Structure 1
Amino acid sequence: MRAMTQDAYGVPEEVLRLDDVDRPSVKDGEVLVRVRAAAVSGSDWHILRGLPYAARPVVGLRRPRNKVPGLELAGTVEAIGAGVTSVEVGDEVFGWCSGAFCEYVAVPEGQVTVKPANLTPEQAAAVPIAGFTALQAVRDAGRVRVGQKVLVLGASGCVGTYAVQLAKHYGAEVTAVCGAAKAGMVADLGADHVLDHAAGPVTASGFDVVVDLFGNPSLRTLKRLLKPGGTVALVGGTGGRWFMGVDRWLRAVLAAPFLGIKARPLVHEDRLDDLVLLRELIEAGAVAPVLDRTYPLDQAAAAIEDVRRGRVRGHAVVTP
């Protein structure tokens, strides 16, 4: 079968190549999925580069342990292993895995479920990890509830588009910050107010929750944006190659009590029950993925670079 593979860390266009590899066999408790679409996110660029360095004991010290990148997929069940009961051959599924940039992948049963009936495979592939991250930022870290004022920084990206919709679903008044070219799209998602990040710092204040998808605002800026006792959900981050902003999370947690705010860093968890909840919200019309572009499998490097440079509104996917 065809797969995008890498043998070394580096920039995508230098280390990714299209290869013929063995089709995986399905083991007990696994599902063999024929991949129809695999989502692309900023995480793919970092993983290809082997960043942050602190993660290399897990992903591979000198070279990637997993030669095939890609973390999210949608496709059709081709075979099931012994003990699998939740899906059947022929089901259209979506979920998360290790190594989605290929034609077939074996996935543990607990990492896939039947895809939303109202989505194409391309749209469904764009749901799992970005959806988990936004849901856990809004519901768990931010604890957003009816009547609150929520500020989403980075609202036009793959996580931000879900964060806007989920904050609205939980009853908040949402102010979204993004580039001017993407403002209309973000407004269509339900944002009550849309601000251009290039127009200067946000001057509004009194927010109950800030969902920070940039990792850029200083803690004193966050204090100015938030009402006393307000919460910042710190998602992702920017910083040095070793920790990629995790050190900022630690500073935020330590400083927050002295600033009169709450700082809640988020490292998302891949959860099947959250994937099922997202499916229900999508089928009910409360949430929808924003799919901007599709790429053939052999253009995965270009897709990753376009996402990294902010050329994509919402999501991009590759289609084996």
Structure 2
Amino acid sequence: MNRITGGSSNTHPKVKPMKAAIYNRYGPANVVQLTDRPVPTPRAGEVLIRVHASSVTAADTMIREGIPRFGRLFLGLRGPKITAMGTQFAGDIIAVGSEVTTFETGNRVFGETGMNFGAHAEYAVVDAKGVIAPIPAGMTYQEAAALCDGPLTDMNFLRNLADLQPGQHILINGAAGSLGTAAVQLAKSFGAEVTGVCSTRNVAFVKSLGADHVIDYNREDFTTRHGTYDVIYDTVGKSSFEAARPALKKDGQYISPVLSLKLLRQMLFGNCWRRQKAKFSATGMLPPEKQMPLVKDLTDRIALGHLRMVIDRKFPLSRIGEAHAYVDTGHKRGNVIIEIDAA
């Protein structure tokens, strides 16, 4: 095992600098730059990962733009406090710090770096007690790189927020995106009746994922279906609790991972006196002890064949700005993956 014995040892498996994506100001896709940075050294309790794949998500593009603006209270008011980019990774552990007992060099792992970012790079250091787990058998690095975006978020929303039960009817808005493609499949694994909402070109595709019903938003507004759904999962934040309420059953729930001031107001005030509820959660900001049971549930369902990852496009790290621009279009189908080859 390549173990670094000191918590701040200078021992290092790599001398050459690594390539990493950074941004120094908020803005469009062209603010993303590729630069050379020192390969990080794992401290006590950390592991060093040779990253083979990462993903660019809608959350990544929002962070890059500094939106919503109240998010800058955490990211930096005038510009990003942390210029490193990316949170999702899949790769190999190549060194472990002292006090690490759960992983060893050579392990194939996936996970997320959280608010430390840095996954859009050739190497990343991760807390061994953080959100990190073995890649499921038979899964590629590219597929595993997106597990902590859509699928993990979906597990939190379907299991923890909605408490989705067999036989309940859930509508998934944005069913062709990275969250939606996984949510359709996972909701079926919960035993729910699933309606997906997507564009005309994606109707057959969403049906192929297992959706019982599909609504083409170009032809029908799902909010006109009165009292139909136990849960409305707005993965893209394109609707609102107020607009969706008529389509919910009396005790229905509107859940969304996209926080807006409007949704925040509805949660703070409307939830106090309405039987219908609006709910939000920032899955990636939950502590690891809250996320890892979701990871275990997710990988168990993968082992049972309940989820196949959908990859729309792959970009090399050298073209990560193009990946951001593509995600900005809002028309990706599934996940956008960054393939990373160390020099």
**Is the aligned partner of 1:70 residue 2:86?**
yes
Deviation at 1:26, TM superposition (A): 1.0
Q: Is the 8 A contact 1:39 1:317 kept in 2?
A: yes
Q: Is the 8 A contact 2:240 2:263 kept in 1?
A: no
Query: What secondary structure sits across from 1:128 in the alignment?
Result: coil
The residue that corresponds to 2:252 in the other structure is: 230
1:227-306 equivalences under 5 Å are 227-237=249-259, 245-256=260-271, 260-268=275-283, 269=286, 271-306=291-326
**Is the aligned partner of 1:105 residue 2:129?**
no
The residue that corresponds to 1:11 in the other structure is: 28
Q: Counterparts of 2:138 and 2:261 in 1: how far apart (Å)?
A: 37
Q: Counterparts of 1:100 and 1:304 in 2: how far apart (Å)?
A: 15
Q: Counterparts of 1:267 and 1:274 in 2: how far apart (Å)?
A: 14
Q: After superposition, give the CA deviation of every residue in 1:243-295 in whole Å (9 maximum; x if it has no partner).
A: xx133232245235655412222222361222222122112211222111110
Q: Is the 8 A contact 2:27 2:65 kept in 1?
A: yes
Q: Counterparts of 2:80 and 2:66 in 1: how far apart (Å)?
A: 8
Q: How many residues align?
A: 312
Amino acid across the alignment from 1:3: A
TM (norm. structure 2) is 0.86
Q: Counterparts of 1:219 and 1:278 in 2: how far apart (Å)?
A: 28
Amino acid across the alignment from 2:100: V
Identity of aligned residues (%): 33
Moved more, 117-126 or 271-280: 271-280
Moved more, 100-109 or 222-231: 222-231
Query: What secondary structure sits across from 2:149 in the alignment?
Result: helix
| Equivalent in 129, 150, 161 of residue 149 of structure 2 | 129
* Structure 2 gaps, min length 5: 1-17
Q: Counterparts of 1:288 and 1:314 in 2: how far apart (Å)?
A: 11
Deviation at 1:174, TM superposition (A): 0.3
Q: After superposition, give the CA deviation of every residue in 1:81-126 in whole Å (9 maximum; x if it has no partner).
A: 1111111101110000121111001111122111111210000001
Q: Counterparts of 2:277 and 2:28 in 1: how far apart (Å)?
A: 37
**Is the aligned partner of 1:47 residue 2:63?**
yes
Deviation at 1:235, TM superposition (A): 2.3
Moved more, 285-294 or 260-269: 260-269
Q: Is the 8 A contact 1:116 1:283 kept in 2?
A: yes
CA 1:6–1:94 in 2, change beyond 3 Å: closer, same or farther? same
CA 1:246–1:87 in 2, change beyond 3 Å: closer, same or farther? farther
The residue that corresponds to 1:240 in the other structure is: none
RMSD: 1.7
1:90-239 equivalences under 5 Å are 90-97=106-113, 98-110=117-129, 111-202=131-222, 203-205=224-226, 206-237=228-259
Q: Is the 8 A contact 1:95 1:112 kept in 2?
A: yes
Q: Is the 8 A contact 1:118 1:283 kept in 2?
A: no
Amino acid across the alignment from 2:326: D
Deviation at 1:63, TM superposition (A): 2.3
Query: What secondary structure sits across from 2:181 in the alignment?
Result: helix
Deviation at 1:10, TM superposition (A): 1.6
Q: Is the 8 A contact 1:174 1:193 kept in 2?
A: yes
CA 1:60–1:164 in 2, change beyond 3 Å: closer, same or farther? same
Amino acid across the alignment from 1:235: P
Query: What secondary structure sits across from 2:280 in the alignment?
Result: strand
Query: What secondary structure sits across from 2:77 in the alignment?
Result: coil
Q: Counterparts of 1:160 and 1:168 in 2: how far apart (Å)?
A: 12
Amino acid across the alignment from 1:287: L
* Structure 1 gaps, min length 5: 238-244
Q: After superposition, give the CA deviation of every residue in 1:58-92 in whole Å (9 maximum; x if it has no partner).
A: 22232222222011000011100111111110111
Q: Is the 8 A contact 2:263 2:278 kept in 1?
A: no
Q: Is the 8 A contact 1:38 1:125 kept in 2?
A: yes
